[in-house]
């Protein structure tokens, strides 16, 4: 007999909804998509039908195109009913980008305290050129001097470019909190690693899960370290979250993720998500028999070449894996003459 944890990952859908359209994935739950101007070219958003209006789950970027798509959705699949509330799973701009826009139209915002504080702080922190701390972080991670010289005169990514201003006021989501949304009773369960205090919602009425970016099929959520907290161990937090979810996961849970297709097979997916990073750490440790910078570690981590468009995300993920090994006592580091940390595996004694 097939064990539950070995049941494959499947989706009942062959294709996502077209732009401006919706697919009903469960009673009273609509699935929609917003485009993103990057390699991961979409974000999934959902609408839950409530007596006082819709509850929107995540929003997409704040852009003219996204707002126009939402206007089409509101007038079409959402049938002109008001949006009563917006629930944001985490603070990344493709998820919180239009929350303030919906608030300005009368919706309430539900999110975690950390997500709201991070997003509001970052929207107010506009920078014309990279901060000195950012440049120092890049240098310490082994970014080449020519690339640093190029980037230090360019406008960096700013939240305010793609996130609508967030007004004061939100309702906090907390671990274990019970919610009634879309005719279902939900329990909030927090993940970490990809984003701090990432809310996932587990239906107690049926097998639905709103997974955000914490529970994705087929792709790995980025796990990164940034100049705001350069010694953080988000990979340790990610692994802890996956392991904490494992006893709760059932093969017939129907996960509505932040990207890609809704899926079943969560126990196997959680195992894959853990094993993916355990394997990467093993390859990285072998690579560190000689001293390396974080920028020298892309190939063993990702098993492929990294292009310019992916470089930034690859660099912060490399630092995350190195920090995890450092905090577990498996590597040491020393500052090189050029201002970059050199990491090396410790020899067994």
Residue 97 lies in a domain: yes
Residue 315 lies in a domain: no
Could you report the per-residue pLDDT of 269-302, keeping only the tens digit for each? 999 999 999 999 999 999 999 999 999 999 999 9
Residue 109 lies in a domain: yes
Residue 326 has pLDDT above 60, yes or no: yes
Mean pLDDT of 205-219: 96
Residue 84 lies in a domain: yes
Residue 151 lies in a domain: no
- Number of structural domains, the chain? 1
Alpha carbons 187 and 200: distance in angstroms, whole number: 8
Residue 238 lies in a domain: yes
Cα dihedral 297/192/277/314 (nearest 10): -30
Read off the CATH number of the domain in which 283 is found.
3.60.15.10
- Sorting pLDDT into bands at 50, 70 and 90, what band is 5? very low
Write down the pLDDT at residue 349: 53
What domain range is 20 assigned to? 4-127+157-289
Write down the pLDDT at residue 38: 87
Residue 331 lies in a domain: no
Mean pLDDT of 220-229: 96
Could you report the per-residue pLDDT of 70-89, keeping only the tens digit for each? 999 999 999 999 999 999 99
Residue 317 lies in a domain: no
**The pair of three-digit structure tokens given for residue 257, joined into one six-digit string:** 């993720």
> Measuring CA to CA, how many Å separate 233 from each of 165, 174, 230?
30, 22, 9
Mind giving me the DSSP string for 157-217? Answer: P-GGGTSPPPPS--EE--TT-EEEETTEEEEEEEE-SSSTTEEEEEESSSSEEEEETTS-S
Write down the pLDDT at residue 103: 98
State percent of the chain over pLDDT 70: 98
């Amino acid at each position: 007999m097939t064990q539950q944890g070995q049941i494959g990952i499947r989706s009942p859908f062959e294709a996502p909804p077209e732009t401006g359209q919706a697919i009903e994935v469960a009673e009273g739950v609509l699935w929609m998509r917003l485009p993103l101007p990057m390699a991961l070219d979409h974000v999934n958003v959902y609408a839950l039908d409530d007596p006082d209006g819709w509850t929107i789950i995540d929003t997409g970027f704040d852009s003219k195109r996204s707002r126009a798509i939402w206007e089409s959705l509101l007038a079409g699949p959402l049938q002109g009913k008001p949006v009563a509330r917006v629930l944001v799973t985490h603070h990344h701009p493709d998820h919180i980008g239009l929350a303030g826009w919906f608030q300005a139209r009368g919706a309430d915002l539900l999110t975690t305290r950390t997500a709201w504080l991070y997003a509001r702080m970052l929207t107010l922190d506009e920078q014309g050129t990279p901060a000195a701390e950012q440049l120092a972080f890049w240098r310490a991670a082994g970014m080449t001097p020519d690339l640093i010289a190029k980037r230090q005169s360019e406008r960096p990514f700013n939240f305010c470019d793609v996130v609508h201003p967030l007004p004061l006021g939100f309702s906090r989501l907390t671990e274990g909190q019970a919610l009634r949304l879309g005719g279902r009773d939900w329990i909030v369960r927090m993940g970490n690693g990809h984003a701090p205090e990432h809310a996932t919602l587990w239906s107690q009425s049926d097998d639905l899960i709103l997974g955000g970016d914490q529970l994705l099929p087929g792709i790995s959520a980025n796990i990164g370290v940034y100049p705001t907290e350069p010694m953080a161990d988000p990979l340790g937090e990610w692994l802890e979250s996956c392991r904490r979810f494992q006893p709760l996961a059932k093969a017939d849970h129907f996960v509505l993720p932040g990207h890609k297709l809704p899926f079943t097979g969560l126990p196997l997916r959680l195992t894959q998500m853990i094993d993916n990073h355990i394997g990467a750490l093993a390859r990285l440790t072998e690579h560190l028999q000689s001293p390396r910078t974080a920028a020298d570690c892309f190939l063993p981590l990702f098993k492929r070449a990294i292009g310019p468009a992916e470089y930034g995300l690859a660099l912060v993920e490399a630092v995350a894996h190195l920090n995890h090994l450092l905090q577990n006592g498996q590597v040491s580091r020393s500052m090189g003459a050029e201002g970059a940390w050199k990491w090396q595996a410790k020899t067994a004694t």
